[in-house]
Amino acid sequence: MDAARPIALVTGATSGIGRAVALELGRTHHVLVGGRDRDRLDELVVALPSAESFVADLVTGPLPPLPATLDVLVHSAGVEDGSTIEHTDRATWEAVFAANVFAVADLTRLALPALRAAEGLVITINSGAGLAAAPGGGVYAASKFALRALTDALREEERPNGVRVSSVHPGRTDTAMQRRKVEREGDDYDTRLYLAPESVAAAVRTVVDLPPGGTIETLSIRPTRRSPVR
């Protein structure tokens, strides 16, 4: 660990947006790379200048010890599941909310002393679905709406403590989760219509690099191209 570097914890760091964020912040931060697969985490640790694994299942726990001070916490872990309201059972609702909302609340609660000590920054990787719901996507959108409410409340609660809280809302992004979703929907996958994970990581960097006197409270990012209207 490079003691001169600020510390960032990134969840969901083994793939997709989380991995891109860990690599981006790794240029300037000591990164705690969070995930469930120790081998994949250790591979990423080796690729970073200053990093260590944070091995945990955020839904079932237990969580490893947190540092005394934490400068940045990026919640990137999450799941996407569900169909129409008619065809989605309660177990699916509970699993999606457990990963996308309850786990975020639990980890944030445990990390607050360290964040307050550093007057740090919390970033939740939300979604365009956290701003508008579409048919067949109600389960995921409901969890992301709930995550937005959690983030908004946390921001106001932590203002007196100097902790900044930001919500980043990417549109559809080229990840394994997105590929599974498109396959389930029966559509063709055209990478030109999706954000690169690195673009989302660049947005996170913008949030992190803002001087402490201000907060980017909500940041929405969308792919430049759109699929033709059918």
SS3 letters across 166-208: EEEEECCECCHHHHHHHHHHCCCCCHHHCECHHHHHHHHHHHH
> Residue 22: which residues within 8 A CB-CB, separation 6 or more?
10, 13, 31, 33, 44, 48, 51
Higher pLDDT pick, 160 / 182: 160
- Residues 164, 84: Cα–Cα separation, whole Å: 36
- Categorize the per-residue pLDDT at 144 as very low, low, confident or very high, splitting at 50, 70 and 90: very high
- Give the Cβ contact number of residue 228 at 10 Å: 6
CA nearest neighbour of 77 among 133, 9, 141: 9
In the predicted model, what is the mean pLDDT of the chain? 93
Residue tagged active-site, from 17, 73, 140, 141: 140
| Domains in the chain with CATH codes | 7-221 (3.40.50.720)
Note if 140 is an active site residue: yes
Q: In b/e form, how buried is each residue of 96-121, taking b as 16+ CB within 10 angstroms? A: bbbbbbbbbeebbeebbebbbbbebb
pLDDT, average across residues 6-20? 96
Closest listed residue to residue 41, CA positions, set 77, 66, 67: 77
- Residue 74 has a pLDDT of 98
Give the residue carrying structure tokens 């309201």: 85
Do residues 189 and 175 make contact, with C-beta atoms less than 8 angstroms apart?
Answer: no
CA gap 110, 166 in Å, rounded: 18
Could you tell me if 173 and 195 are in contact, meaning their C-beta atoms sit under 8 angstroms apart?
yes
- The confidence band for 227, taking pLDDT boundaries of 50, 70 and 90, is low
